[in-house]
Structure formats: C-alpha cells, structure tokens
Chain A
Amino acid sequence: MDTPNGYWMPPAASTVAQSVDDLYFVIFWLCVVFFFIVTGGVVYFAYKYRRKHPDQLATQQIGHNTLLEATWTIIPAILVIWIFVLGFRVYMDLIVAPGDSLEYQVTAKQWAWDFRDPDGCSVPGELHVPAGRPVKLTMRSDDVIHSFYIADFRVKQDVLPGRYSSVWFQADKPGTHNIQCTEYCGTSHSNMFAKVVVHTPEEFANRAQTFCKVTVGKEHGEKLYNNQCAACHTIDGNRLVGPSFKGIWGREGKMSDGSKVIVDENYIVESIRIPTAKVVEGYPPAMPAFPTLTNDDIASIIEYMKTLK
C-alpha cells in the first residue's frame, strides 16, 4: 500500500492512479527515446566531425532536405496528438465523478482544511472515507485560492473563494494518505496539511461510535436537544422552565431589561455560553452555561431550531 509505484511515483492508492502512472510512463519512455536520438546525434556528430586542424572546413554544405524535415515534423506531430488523446481520456476519468458518489463538503481557509461527510461528521484535519466507494468533494474557500492535492490518489483541484469546485476519488484499500495545499496561500502554505483516512466499510459505518463523534447538522442538533435542552425547553409551544423552541427562530422577543432581541445565531450562541446576558421577559434567569457544547454542536442546535416552525 505504502510502497512507491516504482522509483518515480508515490504509492498508487486510488482507482485512477494506475492509469495516470501508465500514461506517465508512456510519455517517459517516449521522452527517453527522443532524448537519446537528439543528444546521441549531437554527441556523435560533435565527435565524428570534430575539427582536427584549425583550417578544416565542412565537408558538405546542406541547406535543407525536404523529406527529412517533413519526417521530423509529421512523426512528432502524430505522437503528440496521440499523447493529447491519451491525456484527455485519463483526464475525463479524473474529473467525472460517478453518480453514486458519497458527497462531502470541503472548506479551505488560511491555513486549514475542514471536511464534512454526508452526515455532517467532521474531524479536524482529517478526511475519513470508506474504501471501495467513490467520494466526491465539493469545495470552496473562505479567503484566498487554495488547491486540494492527494499525491497518492493523483488528484488535485484548485479551491476558490466565491465559487465551488469539485474533485472525486475512490480508494479501494484502507490506509492513510497526505493532503497538501498546492496553491500558494501565504505564511503557512506549506503547513496547510491534512490526512485522508480510508476505512473498511464496516469501520466507516460505525464511525459515529468511534472516531466521528463530533457531528454537525440538524439530526445531531436534535440529538443534543433531546439530551441537553428538552428538560427546560419544549418544541410544541408549551412552557417549561424556559421558552419553547417552537417557532423561536427569527422571532423578536422582549428581554427582562426591556430591550428587544431577534433570535439569530449570535443570540443563540450567547444564550448558551452566557445564559444570563439576555433573559426573556417573564422567565427566571435559571439557565446554566453549557461549556461542553462545541461550536459545531451549537451550529447543529441552530440548524435543528430552524426546523421547528
């Protein structure tokens, strides 16, 4: 798995890697042949026709030779067009993701990668994928241009601000490979590093119990609600200790100090981190802080709240 693919290439760990390498070596040997034709010709002629006494002249002046020139125009032309076709074929395999791909969201920023699997699971600095399934990454940047590169998979794609780009791959064997940024993005460009971890399908299916406990999304938010919030906040409009979450998102509420507040992301974050900062009029300042909830957890709760119409 981790053995390089010959002297030149890194391990070939994706389904397309071998075809890229095959094409690489087609071009490689073509180059070797042409290199030896040219340098061989130069060295041979330079030796054979070396000047042996200062006044020696050329033995023949040849202006041109149409047949020879046509030959060395047409043969290389055919060869390069052939390489073009091969290159384009491999390229189409590289860029057209199969329809049944698992869809991931990727966000790049100076200088970190954020990966979210289809269930919203995110592990900092690690992209966890199952073996044997095509994976499609839809990528965007929060700041400048980055580029997503897994050398062992032979895939690379620029990641742009203000526009989505995508890349796909399928790895058939479990293992760990490096992700590097390949578009210069400032001070820590060379440390914008992450890992892709390929799991067996079983490992991947059980990720919620093992490596992927931190998740984001409304389902995760609902779980957190049931565990942490439901004791004081209903979702059906009834009053418990605190206000119900039903229809809460975007509502304007009056606070105990007389101010008015719209329930948005900032209000929710503040209410969870510093519950006594703004207390809704008519309710006791009874809510504790929840320091164990991560930012992703709070984002998930917000997503869940939005669904409570």
Chain B
Amino acid sequence: MNDHAAHAHDDAHDVPFLEDGKGWKSWLFTLDHKRIGVMYLWSVLIAFAAGGVFALLLRLELMAPGKQYIEADTYNRFFTLHGAIMVFLFIIPAIPSAMGNFVLPLMLGAKDVAFPRLNLLSFWIYGIGSIMALSSIVFGGVETGWTFYTPYSTNTSGAVVMMTLSVFVLGFSSILTGLNFIVTIHKMRAPGMSFFRMPLFVWATYATSILQVMATPVLGITLLLLVAERTLGIGIFDPALGGDPVLYQHFFWFYSHPAVYIMILPGMGVISEIITVFSRKTIFGYRAIAYSSLGIAIISFLVWGHHMFLSGQSAYAGMVFSFLTFLVAIPSAIKVFNWTATLYKGSISFDAPMMWTLSFMVLFTIGGLTGLFLGALGVDVHLHDTYFVVAHFHYVMMGGTVIAFYAGLHYWWPKMFGVMYREGPAKFSAIIVFIGFNATFFTQFVLGTRGMPRRYYNYLDQYQPLHQFSTFGSWIIGLGFIVMTVNLLASFKQKVKAPANPWGARTLEWSIPSPPITHNFHKTPVVTEGPYDFPVEGQAASGAEGKHA
C-alpha cells in the first residue's frame, strides 16, 4: 500500500478537510464533497434516531390490545411519521448522499464530484424538505401512512399537503445527487480506471443514480396531482370527483418500487467492498455483481404492480407482475451467492464492519427469500397487508440497507474523521442489534402468517404474546444502537489517530491520509489494476505496488 500521508506539501488546501475552515459558514457553504457528505451523515443519523423513537413508541403501544398509552389517531400519526422519516429522510439519502458523496470521488481518484455547486444545492434542498416534513407535525400531523393512498389522503384532515410537498422537494435533492453521480462516474474517473476497474460500490451507486433520475420525477408529479386534488378539487384520484384511486397506486408504486432498489442497491455496494477487504480476497464474479446491479435497476421498473395484486387490477396484470417479480429475485440471489463464494479460501477477520456485514448476509437472505411468498399470487392474497409484509420489508430495508449503512459507517469512519473507534463495543453493538432485530421482526412473520393485519392500533387477543415479544425485541435493538452511538462518538474524545489504511483495502480512498486533504489527491492517481487485486499467501505483497502512481 502506498501511503501519501508521509508526503509533506505546502499547498493552501493541503490540510485535512475537517480543519480546512472553521465555523458553520465553512460547512453550510462548502463545495467540498467530503464536507457535504459529512453534513448529510449527521442529518440522516438524526433522522434515523427520530424515526427510531417513533418505532419504539409504536411497539410500546402494541404491547397489548386496546389503548395503552396513546390514542388511535396519535398511533396513526406515529406510524406515518416513522415510515415517512425512515424512507424519505433516512434510507433514500443515507448511503448515496452521505457515504456516496464522501467516498465516490475518492474511489474514482477525483478531486470532487462533477458539479460541486449542484451538490451543495442538493444538500440545501434536502434540508428544506426535511424541515417541511417535520413541520407537518406542528401543522396538524399526518395520518395517511407514508404511501398517501387516495382517496383517504385527499379527504382526511391534517397537514397532508405540507408532508407531500416536502417529499416533492426532497425528490429534487435525490434527482440532483443522482445526476451529479452519473456525470461524475462517466467523466471523472482517474486515468486507467476503466468501468470494470471501478469498485462495486461505484457500480451500485451508478445503478442507484439512474433509478433516482428516472423514477423520482414520477413521484414528484404524482404528489403534485394529489396536492392539486386536495387544494383545488381537481378530480384525478378521488372517485367522488370523477377520479380513480387505483391510478394513484400505479403512479405511486411506479416510483416507489424502484425506490426500494434505490434503498437496497447502495447497501449491496457497501457489502461488496467490505466482504473483499476483510477476506483479503478479490470479489467472486465482479462482472456478475456489476451487471446484476444494472439488471435489478431495469427490472425494478417493471414490477410495481406486485404491490397491487389485491387492488382491483386485472388478473392478467397480476400474472405478469408476479412473473417479473420472480425474475428480479435472480440478480439479488446471484449477489448473495457471489458474496458467500468470496469468503472461500480467504483470510477472514471479524472487525466491526465485517460483523455488521455478516449480520447483513443472514438478514438480507431472509428478507429476500420471504419475498418469494409475497411474489406468489395465491399466497400473497393471504399475506398481503399483514405483518408478514411488515417483517419482509424490515428484513430487506433494515436488515439489508440499514445494517449495510452501519457496516459502511464503521468501515469508513476512520477515513471520514481520522479516528479509530473501540473495536469491542462496535462488535458488541452489531451482535446486539442482530439479536434484537430477529426477536422483533421474525416474530412478525409468525404474526402475519396467522393473519394479523398491519397498521392496526388495536388487535385480537390471540396475537398479544407475539406482539409483546416483538416489543421486547425492539428494546434490544434500541440498546444496540445506543451502544453503537456512544462508542462512535467516544472516538472523538479518545482521539486514537486512524492510519491511512487501517483495513488493508485496495480501493483509492485508502491510498490517501485519514482524513483526506481538501483536494483529496496530491497528484491524480493512475490506476493499473482492479479494485480487489489482493495478493495470495506465498506471493510477494509487492503485487500491490505501482497501483497508484
């Protein structure tokens, strides 16, 4: 590994980016992709905490049937906020905007993204959209569910317009970030970095960005139509005004199904990075993983109808959507097999990022496999809109994306902040979250199969023991994340300086000091090999030399 940290330089921007400017203005008006990434990171972490608190309150209320602590309308507002905050303020921007912004240009050997000002604009828009979303709480709250199904959403009271407009605004942040990344990946790669020498995180981000640019406008238009119906009485979705409520569902899921992959693809990218580094092994089936990202991106546009098997769409539509849904399972399965095969004959260590990654492997596998039940039309009829669906998408979104996000956070934390956290508590938190997660959500598979509908404030007595168990599980998850947070924040106080490349990784972001200097690279690196060309036992480690000129 080359270590540029040793180089001394007298360039004005030759200081770690964290020290290049002081005060809030140096952050809010920065054009440095790393600082923008860090601002996104703190924002999404706060959103995760807020969404998590709502989740814990929901689970607490569900300890027993009937009213425990809050009223039905409050419960309905809480699950709407939990969903909306977690989806729009946390998961969608979490990996692309926070980690993507930070590491994507570094991985490409670039000094910044293609459009730094547009990048800052994305963050501002995200900030404005987030404030709008949270302000809906004081403007009467929203209790439509995060999906805003019509005609309920056009007729109920509350701050539906504020919330939907906030999602509209947040969409622009997503689109602009996606656009920026696509251009960056096409135009800013270091000399020698062909498409097939790009790290798989870049491939995943690339596929994600295409989805963001192509699908998000549909959601924006749909939500504007919803606002037009609510405020101007223009009949589009409400049958009382001559509209069609199922049309709304088509529009909504035309975005929101690809959005599921906007959420999971970057997580898959993170896993591809970590699993190679902590196995000291080249990724098995690089091209298969890269192409499967694109395959998922394309097919994901054609499966939205599987959210609507019972909506009244035709049986033929149901048949086609079911078939295409099963097809989209294949590229995801390929990735899982490839990751597993990557471990074979590796040299595997169990540092914190790898612990989170192994947790991902198990949870995402369960999440993916349980999708088979829901894709099968005959079984979906029974399971649709029950806790089975809740459990399934939490295994994919939380067990998949969120766990991958925290794997990535522990992986890149030393690079981002130049400090090492303590290994013990970091591993411990990964294990605690894994246990709590399964206690909470595996229980919900049983609940759903036994016929417990979702979005229920009250429920039949027969479901009480399982609900209670699920609530206990949620406390374990909460504990795990508290341990993790304290441990990561403590690293700022302990100030254990991170080396340039603590994990022995071979992608370009690890070839520069931790934290990087403002302009990333003293000299533009020249890439002469793939991102995962690890040496083998007996072979000289010098194989790595000359990679970065």
* Cβ-defined contact, B377 with A90, below 8 A: yes
Q: Does A42 contact B (CB under 8 A)?
A: yes
A187 proximity list for chain B (CB < 8 A): 72-73, 76
* Cβ-defined contact, A189 with B534, below 8 A: no
* Cβ-defined contact, B312 with A69, below 8 A: no
Shortest Cβ distance from B291 into chain A, in angstroms? Answer: 11
* Cβ-defined contact, A182 with B386, below 8 A: yes
Q: How large is the interface on B (under 10, 10 to 19, 20 to 34, 35 or more residues)?
A: 35 or more
* Cβ-defined contact, A80 with B285, below 8 A: no
Q: Which of A9, A92, A158 has the most CB of B within 10 A?
A: A158
* Cβ-defined contact, B456 with A84, below 8 A: no
Q: Which among B281, B326, B378 is the interface contact of A94 at CB below 8 angstroms?
A: B378
Once A39-B361, A62-B284, A163-B312 are accepted as A-B contacts, the answer to whether A57 and B347 lie under 8 Å apart by CB is: yes
Q: Mark B295-333, 1 if CB is under 8 A from A, else 0.
A: 000000000000000111001001100110011011001
* Cβ-defined contact, B460 with A10, below 8 A: no
Once A64-B288, A69-B334 are accepted as A-B contacts, the answer to whether A161 and B449 lie under 8 Å apart by CB is: no
A20 and B377 CA atoms in complex are apart in Å by: 10
A94 and B318 CA atoms in complex are apart in Å by: 13
A191 proximity list for chain B (CB < 8 A): 458
Shortest Cβ distance from A140 into chain B, in angstroms? Answer: 10
Q: Chain B residue with minimal CB distance to A164?
A: B312
Once A8-B450, A84-B326, A186-B76 are accepted as A-B contacts, the answer to whether A24 and B288 lie under 8 Å apart by CB is: no
Q: List residues 10-69 of chain A with CB under 8 A from any CB of chain B.
A: 10, 19-20, 23-24, 27-28, 30-31, 34-35, 38-39, 41-42, 45-46, 49-51, 56-65, 68-69
Q: Does B372 contact A (CB under 8 A)?
A: yes
Q: Does B459 contact A (CB under 8 A)?
A: yes
Q: Does B18 contact A (CB under 8 A)?
A: no
Q: List residues 138-184 of chain A with CB under 8 A from any CB of chain B.
A: 143-145, 147, 149, 151-152, 154-158, 160-163, 165, 178, 180-184
* Cβ-defined contact, B315 with A91, below 8 A: yes
At the interface with chain A, which of B160-168, B210-218, B336-344, B398-406? B336-344
Q: Does B350 contact A (CB under 8 A)?
A: yes
Q: Does B116 contact A (CB under 8 A)?
A: no
* Cβ-defined contact, B382 with A69, below 8 A: no
Q: Does B379 contact A (CB under 8 A)?
A: yes
Q: List residues 97-124 of chain B with CB under 8 A from any CB of chain A.
A: none
Once A59-B537, A72-B333, A87-B376 are accepted as A-B contacts, the answer to whether A156 and B382 lie under 8 Å apart by CB is: yes
* Cβ-defined contact, B239 with A163, below 8 A: yes
Q: Mark B354-389, 1 if CB is under 8 A from A, else 0.
A: 000010011001100110110111111110111000
A80 and B324 CA atoms in complex are apart in Å by: 10
A63 proximity list for chain B (CB < 8 A): 282, 284-286
A57 and B457 CA atoms in complex are apart in Å by: 54
* Cβ-defined contact, A186 with B343, below 8 A: no
A87 and B379 CA atoms in complex are apart in Å by: 7
* Cβ-defined contact, B326 with A49, below 8 A: no
A247 and B124 CA atoms in complex are apart in Å by: 72
A24 and B449 CA atoms in complex are apart in Å by: 10
A80 and B385 CA atoms in complex are apart in Å by: 22
Q: Does B143 contact A (CB under 8 A)?
A: yes
A24 and B350 CA atoms in complex are apart in Å by: 37
* Cβ-defined contact, B378 with A20, below 8 A: yes
Q: Does B446 contact A (CB under 8 A)?
A: yes
Q: Chain B residue with minimal CB distance to A139?
A: B312
Q: Does B240 contact A (CB under 8 A)?
A: yes
A89 proximity list for chain B (CB < 8 A): 378
A155 and B450 CA atoms in complex are apart in Å by: 13
A162 proximity list for chain B (CB < 8 A): 239-240, 244-245
B155 proximity list for chain A (CB < 8 A): 143-144
| Number of A interface residues in the complex (CB < 8 A) | 84
Residue pairs across A and B with CB atoms within 8 Å: the count is 276
Q: Mark B269-281, 1 if CB is under 8 A from A, else 0.
A: 0000000000111
Q: Does B21 contact A (CB under 8 A)?
A: no
* Cβ-defined contact, B376 with A84, below 8 A: yes
Q: Does A185 contact B (CB under 8 A)?
A: yes
* Cβ-defined contact, B536 with A10, below 8 A: no
* Cβ-defined contact, A45 with B346, below 8 A: yes
A302 and B542 CA atoms in complex are apart in Å by: 95
Q: Which among A24, A50, A147 is the interface contact of B373 at CB below 8 angstroms?
A: A24
B358 proximity list for chain A (CB < 8 A): 42, 46
Q: Mark A68-93, 1 if CB is under 8 A from B, else 0.
A: 11001100110011011011111111
Q: Which among B145, B311, B376 is the interface contact of A83 at CB below 8 angstroms?
A: B376
B539 proximity list for chain A (CB < 8 A): 57
B446 proximity list for chain A (CB < 8 A): 7-8
A93 and B378 CA atoms in complex are apart in Å by: 8
Shortest Cβ distance from B467 into chain A, in angstroms? Answer: 12
Q: Which among A4, A58, A152, A161 is the interface contact of B536 at CB below 8 angstroms?
A: A58
B343 proximity list for chain A (CB < 8 A): 41-42, 45-46, 49
* Cβ-defined contact, B534 with A61, below 8 A: yes
* Cβ-defined contact, A72 with B326, below 8 A: no
* Cβ-defined contact, A27 with B384, below 8 A: no
* Cβ-defined contact, B537 with A58, below 8 A: yes
Once A10-B450, A61-B534 are accepted as A-B contacts, the answer to whether A30 and B372 lie under 8 Å apart by CB is: yes
Shortest Cβ distance from A115 into chain B, in angstroms? Answer: 19
* Cβ-defined contact, B375 with A84, below 8 A: yes
A50 proximity list for chain B (CB < 8 A): 348-350
A residues with a Cβ closer than 8 A to B are 4, 7-10, 19-20, 23-24, 27-28, 30-31, 34-35, 38-39, 41-42, 45-46, 49-51, 56-65, 68-69, 72-73, 76-77, 80-81, 83-84, 86-95, 143-145, 147, 149, 151-152, 154-158, 160-163, 165, 178, 180-191
- List 19 A–B pairs whose Cβ atoms lie within 8 Å, in order of A's numbering: A31-B369, A35-B365, A38-B336, A39-B362, A62-B344, A69-B338, A73-B334, A83-B326, A84-B322, A158-B310, A161-B239, A162-B240, A163-B246, A165-B312, A184-B145, A185-B152, A186-B143, A186-B156, A187-B72
Given A42-B340, A86-B378, A188-B72, 19 other A-B residues pairs in contact with their CB atoms under 8 A: A20-B379, A38-B361, A41-B343, A50-B350, A57-B347, A57-B538, A57-B539, A58-B280, A58-B281, A59-B347, A64-B284, A77-B330, A80-B330, A83-B376, A90-B378, A143-B155, A161-B240, A182-B385, A184-B152
